[in-house]
Structure 1
């Protein structure tokens, strides 16, 4: 069935696959990349983005960067953390979240669960 036919319909059943259990690194992955993901420190993000990144880490959805990414403000390849759009030099002085770019209270909670 094409998506055009059922565009106006609403879903009547719940989502089939729900993440009910946290991702177990010891059970599913043991490569060196997994050890890097477990030790990721979330910095320069607002509370909402910190929660999103913690969820990605706990459920095994976090993918680290393979090379530095480009900052949307200064256009330099200085972003070393995945899912960030602003580099540290652009986000800290202006009080912006490095992930969403909004002016919000930056969480200094550096714990990744």
Structure 2
């Protein structure tokens, strides 16, 4: 009769990826949204993020359905439009219940907004006013959630 041995070394404390400070990769992995995945795949990627095993893509990957290099999230097989069109999980490509749908990444929106504002500050006065005037008319599309802010004019004039 064989006896089952217990684990030789037991962890006294849980793994903490931020124990010695967070790296840029850990911060980037934490900000990634888990859209378009089934419950099982969501748990798998959440585990990878929790235990510092998540490796983000450096270049877009080829979608297995449309054959274009449009997959921008790690461990996914389908791009966002194809997964939504087929109604399947973007990772395991199974027709199961999708836990979270694709939603715009808030950190990405904040980053774009800050880039837009810094771009406005670096423009010449004449160019900036022309752009703001055209955005108010509607001839030039303004970025999402951007209200024409004339407070920049006041800051520059002082």
Q: Is TM more than 0.5 here?
A: yes
Between structures 1 and 2, the one with greater helix share:
2
Gaps of 5+ in 2: 104-158
1:95 to 87, 104, 112: 87
**Residue in structure 1 matched with residue 60 of structure 2 by the alignment:** 68
Residue 101 of structure 1 deviates from its aligned partner by: 0.4
**Residue in structure 1 matched with residue 69 of structure 2 by the alignment:** 77
Larger radius of gyration: 2
Q: Equivalences for 1:1-113 in 2 at 5 Å?
A: 22-108=14-100
d(CA) in 2 for partners of 1:48 and 1:91?
16
Residue 18 of structure 1 deviates from its aligned partner by: 8.3
RMSD over aligned Cα atoms? 2.5
Count of residue pairs the alignment pairs up = 99
Please report the TM-score for the alignment, with normalisation by the length of structure 1: 0.74
CA displacement 1:56-92 (0-9 Å, x = unmatched):
1101111000011110011101011000000011110
Gaps of 5+ in 1: 1-11
